[in-house]
Amino acid sequence: MASIVGVVAAVMRFGNLGYPQALVFDEVFYARGAYSLITIGYEGEWGGENQDFANGDFSQLTSEGDYVVHPNIGKLMIGFGMKLFGPSAYGWRFMAALVGVATVLMIAFIARHLLRSTLWGLVAGLFLAVDGEHVVLSRTALLDIFLTFFVVMAFGLLIVDRHVTWRKIQAAAARQRVELNLGVGSLIPGAGPNTGIRWWRWAALVAFGLAVSVKWNGLYFAAAFLILSVAWDWYDRHKAGYENWFMGGFVRAIPAFFATLIVIPLVYLASWIPWFQADKSWGRHWAEDHPGEGFTWLPDSLNSLVHYHQQMWDFHRGLDSPHNYESSPWGWPLQLRPTAFYFEDVTDVDCGAERCVSAIHAIGHPLLWWVGAAVLLYALWRIFRHRDMLALTVTAGYLAAWVPWLPFAERTIFTFYTVTMAPFLVLMVVWAMKRLAQPARLHGAWWPPGAIICVVFVAAVLVVAGFFAPIWTGEPIPFRYWQLHMWLPSWV
């Protein structure tokens, strides 16, 4: 499974990764910021033209600190790729492609565990491997693919934590039934065992801290998944037969809550070490220059960092400048207004037509996203009508990536943010496919009509992915062929 999924994901992400040799969309901020971090130790301001950097002219970097509005981890990872392969398009995109492939593999294994099937894990991995949002962001030096990577990592670690903890609960319940001479269906007195230090949950907290250190909206996922982890604990203690299952889960959530308040901020603070170490980084000496202002009880360096974060918060809160590709989050599940990252006429390549273009559009795979929107409604029905914990598990990440943006529909936000939804979208879709092909009433047996529908759907997904691949990778194509991909007027 891993080899098939990994090869497909790698081909889609690493194939001709260095093309185009240009700053694509917001690479102008993050590739140059990453180069600055690995060169002078902080983010300096840039002069000159954007294409100068892409052409290998780095003399435009100044020693003046640049005002940036996202933390450092994503840019440091981009910079690591440039350390390995040089400050070329391949170099600044390498780490995005690498973590993109890693995310695909993680989702394949997560689906395999949740659905108890290697086959369905393979399908989930293939679907993410050929999703347009994930492909495009894996081939571009933006921050969102790194956020997605750490969020999926944290989710996977929490699943491992649940598996380990469930085995402890199950063993304790079996032992107590024997000791108390209780029947299989009778309740067990008490709230369940003390499961000890949950190291996998601690590791998940570190991963959440790294996610927040890429972009602040990693906090949405931390809140959603840590609450989900408590719900798992309640569910598993109840399933094991403990009478006071709620109290058992609640009491053990208290230390987890305080651990969250310690670990995530510490990891986040550590991500600012380059800023602390560089005297010329933006706002580094604000407190010294403004005595008596801010949080004066803090050391000057932390007081300056807090003030810098207040400026960052004001920027994000007031971000409302018109943009051609801004989109309402209400349309994200249907990919109604995808983001065009790059579009140029190509004159040095013969594509077999009078006009050739190179285009990169962050469009999610239409079949996956449109079917996924319907699956979401079905999953919500399963959650509220049948208290389906697996439906909640596969849906939580999708909702955490989407719902918090709905109140900010009037702000300047973009559909490419949905790359964080993509891994959980495929989990939802594959969960629904399994329920169709192997309905619960058949206890794992296959229902032939459902299986045929799923096979046809997988084939259709792969065919459509092949059709859309050129506008996910920027391959030069005839202009007319590009037009054939604009299925909706809002995609143009």
- Mean pLDDT over 92-102 rounds to 97
CA distance 116 to 141: 35
Token pair, residue 461, equals 């997904």
- Are residue 253 and residue 297 in the same domain, yes or no? no
292 has pLDDT over 90: no
pLDDT band at 209 (very low <50, low <70, confident <90, very high): very high
What's residue 283's pLDDT? 85
Enter the pTM of the model: 0.95
- Are residue 288 and residue 276 in the same domain, yes or no? no
> Structurally, how many domains does the chain consist of?
2
- Are residue 193 and residue 309 in the same domain, yes or no? no
What's residue 380's pLDDT? 96
| Least reliable range by pLDDT among 76-90, 321-335, 373-387 | 321-335
On the 0-12 / 13-18 / 19+ scale of CB atoms within 10 A, 239 is middle
Is 89 within a domain? Answer: no
End-to-end CA distance of the chain: 37
| Least reliable range by pLDDT among 273-282, 357-366, 368-377, 381-390 | 273-282
- Are residue 304 and residue 189 in the same domain, yes or no? no
The answer to whether the CB of 359 falls within 8 A of the CB of 474 is yes
Is 395 within a domain? Answer: no
Is 273 within a domain? Answer: yes
Residue with tokens 């790729």: 81
Most confident of 64-68, 423-427, 486-490: 423-427
- Mean pLDDT over 439-467 rounds to 95
CA distance 212 to 309: 13
Domain ends where: 270, 298, 317?
A: 317
CA distance 315 to 411: 12
- Mean pLDDT over 396-417 rounds to 91
Instruction: Give the domain extent around 294.
Output: 283-317
- Are residue 298 and residue 233 in the same domain, yes or no? no
Is 367 within a domain? Answer: no
- Are residue 203 and residue 292 in the same domain, yes or no? no
What's residue 190's pLDDT? 87
pLDDT band at 75 (very low <50, low <70, confident <90, very high): very high
Domain ends where: 271, 292, 317?
A: 317
Chain centroid, CA 490 distance in Å: 25
DSSP state of 344: E
List pLDDT tens digits, range 460-485: 999 999 999 999 999 999 999 999 99
- Are residue 247 and residue 206 in the same domain, yes or no? yes
pLDDT band at 182 (very low <50, low <70, confident <90, very high): confident
- Are residue 246 and residue 306 in the same domain, yes or no? no
The answer to whether the CB of 390 falls within 8 A of the CB of 430 is no
- Are residue 306 and residue 261 in the same domain, yes or no? no
CA distances from residue 35 to 55, 79, 180, 270 in whole angstroms, order as listed: 14, 6, 65, 20
List pLDDT tens digits, range 3-58: 899 999 999 999 999 999 899 998 999 999 999 999 999 899 988 777 888 888 89
Is 257 within a domain? Answer: yes
- Are residue 158 and residue 220 in the same domain, yes or no? yes
- Mean pLDDT over 319-340 rounds to 86
- Mean pLDDT over 305-329 rounds to 82
What's residue 434's pLDDT? 96
What's residue 47's pLDDT? 82
DSSP string, 95-164: HHHHHHHHHHHHHHHHHHHHHT-HHHHHHHHHHHHT-HHHHHHHTS--SHHHHHHHHHHHHHHHHHHHHH
- Are residue 271 and residue 306 in the same domain, yes or no? no
Token pair, residue 483, equals 């037009």
- Are residue 271 and residue 295 in the same domain, yes or no? no
313 has pLDDT over 90: no
CA distance 195 to 166: 9
CA distance 450 to 456: 10
pLDDT band at 445 (very low <50, low <70, confident <90, very high): very high
Token pair, residue 18, equals 């260095």
92 has pLDDT over 90: yes
Give the H/E segment covering residue 438.
none
319 has pLDDT over 80: no
pLDDT band at 123 (very low <50, low <70, confident <90, very high): very high
The answer to whether the CB of 169 falls within 8 A of the CB of 192 is yes
Residue with tokens 């439906």: 391
- Mean pLDDT over 307-335 rounds to 84
CA distance 278 to 66: 12
Quote the percentage of the chain above a pLDDT of 70: 99
Domain ends where: 317, 339, 374?
A: 317
Cα pseudo-dihedral 134, 140, 141, 145, rounded to 10? 0
More confident residue, 310 or 320: 310
Mean pLDDT of the chain: 92
Is 147 within a domain? Answer: yes
Is 121 within a domain? Answer: no
What's residue 154's pLDDT? 97
Is 184 within a domain? Answer: yes
On the 0-12 / 13-18 / 19+ scale of CB atoms within 10 A, 3 is exposed
- Mean pLDDT over 89-98 rounds to 96
